[in-house]
Amino acid sequence: MSERTHDEKRHDQLTTAPKSTEDDAAPRIDVTDAGDGVTRIDVRDDAAVRPGGDPDLVD
C-alpha cells in the first residue's frame, strides 16, 4: 500500500465532517518559493474563507 500524499490527507480531513462539501477542501492559498530563501504566501482570490473581517461590515 502506498503512502497517501499531503493533498490526499488534507482532502480527507476537510471532507470528513457530516455536513462538509468538496468546496471545504478547495485550495485557499498559493505558495511561491523564489529559491533564494524567500517564500511568498498569497490568499487566493477565489478562496471562500479569507483572513480578516468582512469588508462589507468594516467601517
Own/partner contacts of 6-14, CB < 8 Å, gap of 24 or more, are none
Report how far residue 47's alpha carbon sits from residue 41's, in angstroms, rounded to the nearest whole number: 13
At residue 29, the 3 state secondary structure works out as strand
pLDDT digits (tens, 9 = 90+) for 4-49: 999 899 999 999 999 999 888 888 889 999 888 999 999 888 887 7
Per the domain annotation, does 59 fall within a domain?
A: no
Full residue range of the structural domain in which residue 11 is found: 1-17+24-48
Predicted confidence band of residue 52 (pLDDT cuts 50, 70, 90): confident
- Structural domains of the chain, count: 1
Per the domain annotation, does 32 fall within a domain?
A: yes
Cβ distance 36 to 25 under 8 Å?
A: no
